Amino acid sequence: MPTTQPAVNLEVAKNLGLNAEEFEKIHKIMGREPNFTELSIFSVMWSEHCSYKNSITWLKTLPRDGSRLLVEAGEENAGLVDIGDGLGCAFKIESHNHPSAIEPYQGAATGVGGIHRDIFTMGARPIAALNSLRFGDIKEPHTRRLVKGVVSGIGDYGNCFGVPTVGGEVYFNSCYNQNILVNAMSVGIVKAGETVSASADGPGNPVFIVGSATGKDGIHGATFASADLTEDSADDLPAVQVGDPFQEKLLLEASLEVITTGAVVGMQDMGAAGITCSTSEMSAKSGTGMQIDLSKVPTRQSNMVPFEILLSESQERMLIVAKKGEEQKLLDVFDKWDLECEEIGVVTDTGRLEFFYEGKKVADVPAEPLVLGGGAPVYEREYTRPAYFDKIAAFDQESITTPDDTLATAKQLFASPNIVSKRWIYEQYDSMVRTNSMGTNAPSDAALVRVKGSTKALAVTTDCNSAYVYADPYKGTMIAVAEAARNIVCSGGLPVAITNCLNFGNPYNPEVYFQFVNAIKGMGEACRKFDTPVTGGNVSFYNQSVHKNGTEPVYPTPTIGMLGLLDHYDQAMTLYFKEAGQSIYLLGQSREDLGSSEYLRLIHGVEQSPVPHFDLEEEYALQQEVSKIIKAGLIDACHDVSEGGLFVTLMEAAMPKGIGFEVNTDASIRKDAFLFGESQSRVMVAVKPEQEEALLNHLKAQNIINTKLGQTVAGNVAIDGQDFGAVREWKSTYDHTLGELIEQ
């Protein structure tokens, strides 16, 4: 083992991902030349992932206040929202894109593990998981291999951990061929007053590491920058991190139990940059410091040197600051759960992180300059309007002819992997454990999750149609927020707050940065309108494909994870037809708009067209009215119009109980736009005959634009008098197509 540290110079700093200016800044902060370990600490803390240096300026423009927020955005591991009855809801979404591209199973699994740890480290018990996945062209064998790996990774980790996967979204587009997106969200519940902060108060308090042993996971960058790298040391570097959901389950139970002992001062899970990040963030938050003896950290591999222990990203670990004198309570709980729990240091009042190894001090750095909001660098990047916008503006809808055979077109569109049921995927996830999933036997637009011990239910959803964001980052992102809110409203809930996962290309590409800036502007405006503040989230840059002629960014994909609330679970609204003989209405304006629809892409091969019609005020007004109609008990089913247009909305309402429908299109609008267009702010409702008059009176009184489409019937579908066959047959296509595509 090398006893001395590698020499430090600008070359080494650059290999660690730091630039000359940053290297200079570190000198200034330290007042001397940093040693290799110290430089490594700065390099990981000032990485994009930990410091948000290229995004924070814009993220700060998002609305981050609200009467329900219990912690400020970005202050803790996840957002925390007051849901009443003395309960709080912690929730967050995070990406694990690049690890999943290398090893889809472990990458996705550890992504799920990481986001759940963010929730239970705050003292909240995760009760629901969601995800948002983007894959390339499903015809590519490589894509199918990735789908299988990612889905079983998410399933195996979440199923074993015992938290139901209640919702999500999956899209296929060749822009993700080389760079898939795996975004995972966790939602947890905590009693008010039982939350734990990621802080390190009280000099003299002991610091513990608990959970898995520390291995050389995720330290490639620093290790390759180290001059001491030899053939042998490269051999024992793990290429992937292996998740251990069983260990995480024990860590969850032990963490929640140890909080009840009152012996915990602060707790922080270890994700990126491991011990470095958790010690610096906890210390900076409390204005304290820490002395840590790295030789006491249990290691999985022999011959680990200090910087490797500091930077290791081994999974299923936590850092806990305990009350001095109450250490035994901690040890007892972790012993009960057969977990390792080692005292490795102490909180100090110096504001410095002092790391020791075998009696020698190996690093001594101030905590504050390391962290976001402290001294970490902040950059403003240039941005320019993307050239491809010209092609989008040049699209002429008149050049698209309406197909003669509507039935054949509907069948072709309906079999798109972006439209069909994701059953093959979600049946591999345990969606029912914890017995709160209200959607198993009665689906809604958002996933409804009962909160035990109260009358409340959560409505949760993840949404982002990245084709819209590509066409118009500003409006497209507003639509992502609006659709999430619409899904919650159509389920009987009130939108409360969001978490975001911002997946973009290289921020140094001005066109990519233009997408980013405008997405943030759109998100901010929509979130202000819906009164859904941003509680936190994650930025993932550098999502791109590498070609011979350069790089191609993925479609900008700002995934919205939205939390909604039902004060009483009796307010739940479902999306499906219950019986024949009900009238079907469309609320909102039908428009002659094919923009960025699945129909244009799939049937006509048009990849570049304008974003579908969207007006924020119109959308907001519609949602307010839908909410009132549901509360007044005037409707029996409610489903919004999204991908695939009104036709797919109607089919999705028909399939759960096999109830058919007979509807007529509007002669004043081209038939393909009426049935398959994706213009926004439209909701389909079904009404019982005895309530139809009351509904119509209400719609008239409130001046809500509406169209009577037709009625529900037994088992068959007809449009403009044309027989479209049995719902049963459509459902067979819907349920089996994706599995057949993936298993081929």
Of 131-139, 426-434, 517-525, 579-587, the window that binds another protein (rule: CB under 8 A) is 426-434
C-beta separation of 290 from 283 below 8 A = yes
Tell me the β-bridge partners of 322.
Answer: 264
- 730 near another protein, judged by CB under 8 A: no
C-beta separation of 200 from 266 below 8 A = yes
Out of 24, 427, 723, 740, the only residue in the binding site for another protein (CB under 8 A) is 427
What are the tokens at 85?
A: 């009855």
Residue 399 Cβ, how far from another protein at the closest point, in Å?
Answer: 45
Is 49 annotated as catalytic? yes
Of 51-59, 213-221, 633-641, 702-710, the window that binds another protein (rule: CB under 8 A) is 213-221
Please give the residues from 517 up to 536 whose contact with another protein meets the rule CB under 8 A.
Answer: none
Per residue, the 3-state secondary structure of 174-231, as one string, reads HHHCCCCEEEEEEEEEEECCCCCCCCCCCCCCEEEEEECCECCCCCHHHHHHCCCCCH
β-strand 360-366 against 544-547: which pairing, if any? unpaired
Determine which one of 49, 116, 613, 639 is catalytic: 49
Cα gap 133→107, rounded to integer Å: 13
**Cβ neighbours, 10 Å, residue 407:** 14
Please give the residues from 337 up to 396 whose contact with another protein meets the rule CB under 8 A.
Answer: 337-338
Out of 37, 97, 106, 609, the only residue in the binding site for another protein (CB under 8 A) is 106
What is the helix (H) or strand (E) element at residue 483, kind and residue range? helix 473-490
Residue 159 Cβ, how far from another protein at the closest point, in Å?
Answer: 6
Locus of tokens 């009350």: 323
Out of 95, 173, 431, 596, the only residue in the binding site for another protein (CB under 8 A) is 431
Residue 435 Cβ, how far from another protein at the closest point, in Å?
Answer: 5
Nearer to another protein, 400 or 572 (CB): 572
DSSP reduced 3-state for 258: helix
- 434 near another protein, judged by CB under 8 A: yes
Q: Would you give the binding string for another protein spanning residues 303-342, x where CB under 8 A is met?
A: -----------xx--------------------xxx----
> At CB < 8 A and 24+ separation, what contacts does 79-83 make?
79/497, 79/499, 79/535, 79/536, 80/122, 80/124, 80/190, 80/195, 80/535, 81/496, 81/497, 81/535, 81/563, 82/192, 83/451, 83/456, 83/458, 83/496, 83/565
Q: Would you give the binding string for another protein spanning residues 452-491, x where CB under 8 A is met?
A: x---------------------------------------
Cα gap 26→36, rounded to integer Å: 12
List the end-to-end C-alpha distance of the chain, in Å, as a whole number: 51
What are the tokens at 573?
A: 């609204």
Of 241-249, 355-363, 617-625, 668-676, the window that binds another protein (rule: CB under 8 A) is 241-249
Out of 22, 76, 118, 156, the only residue in the binding site for another protein (CB under 8 A) is 156
- 240 near another protein, judged by CB under 8 A: yes
Compute the Cα dihedral for 248, 249, 253, 254 and give only its sign. Answer: negative
Contacts of 680 (CB under 8 A, 6+ apart): 479, 482, 483, 612, 613, 614, 619
- 250 near another protein, judged by CB under 8 A: yes
Of 90-98, 150-158, 498-506, 715-723, the window that binds another protein (rule: CB under 8 A) is 150-158
Nearer to another protein, 300 or 671 (CB): 300
Nearer to another protein, 450 or 601 (CB): 450
Out of 160, 227, 415, 704, the only residue in the binding site for another protein (CB under 8 A) is 160
**Cβ neighbours, 10 Å, residue 239:** 9
Picking from 136, 49, 129, 57, the residue whose alpha carbon sits closest to that of residue 93 is: 129
Q: Would you give the binding string for another protein spanning residues 541-580, x where CB under 8 A is met?
A: ----------------------------x-----------
- 120 near another protein, judged by CB under 8 A: no
Determine which one of 27, 96, 220, 698 is catalytic: 96
C-beta separation of 662 from 650 below 8 A = no
Out of 244, 281, 625, 672, the only residue in the binding site for another protein (CB under 8 A) is 244
Out of 155, 386, 558, 660, the only residue in the binding site for another protein (CB under 8 A) is 155
Contacts of 18 (CB under 8 A, 6+ apart): 26, 39, 42, 43, 46
Total residues in contact with another protein, by rule CB under 8 A: 54
Out of 64, 92, 450, 529, the only residue in the binding site for another protein (CB under 8 A) is 450
Out of 313, 364, 430, 445, the only residue in the binding site for another protein (CB under 8 A) is 430
Residue 95 Cβ, how far from another protein at the closest point, in Å?
Answer: 20
- What CA–CA distances, in Å, run from 601 to 138, 416, 609? 15, 10, 9
Cα gap 420→150, rounded to integer Å: 19
Of 154-162, 198-206, 503-511, 529-537, the window that binds another protein (rule: CB under 8 A) is 154-162
- 726 near another protein, judged by CB under 8 A: no
Out of 5, 47, 247, 503, the only residue in the binding site for another protein (CB under 8 A) is 247
Cα gap 337→248, rounded to integer Å: 11
- 714 near another protein, judged by CB under 8 A: no
Residue 166 Cβ, how far from another protein at the closest point, in Å?
Answer: 11
Is 547 annotated as catalytic? no
Out of 48, 103, 511, 607, the only residue in the binding site for another protein (CB under 8 A) is 103
Cα gap 255→308, rounded to integer Å: 26
What are the tokens at 609?
A: 């067209």
Binding site for another protein (CB under 8 A): 102-103, 106, 152, 155-156, 159-162, 212, 215-217, 235-247, 249-250, 300-301, 314-315, 336-338, 427-438, 440-442, 450, 452, 569
Catalytic residues: 49, 96
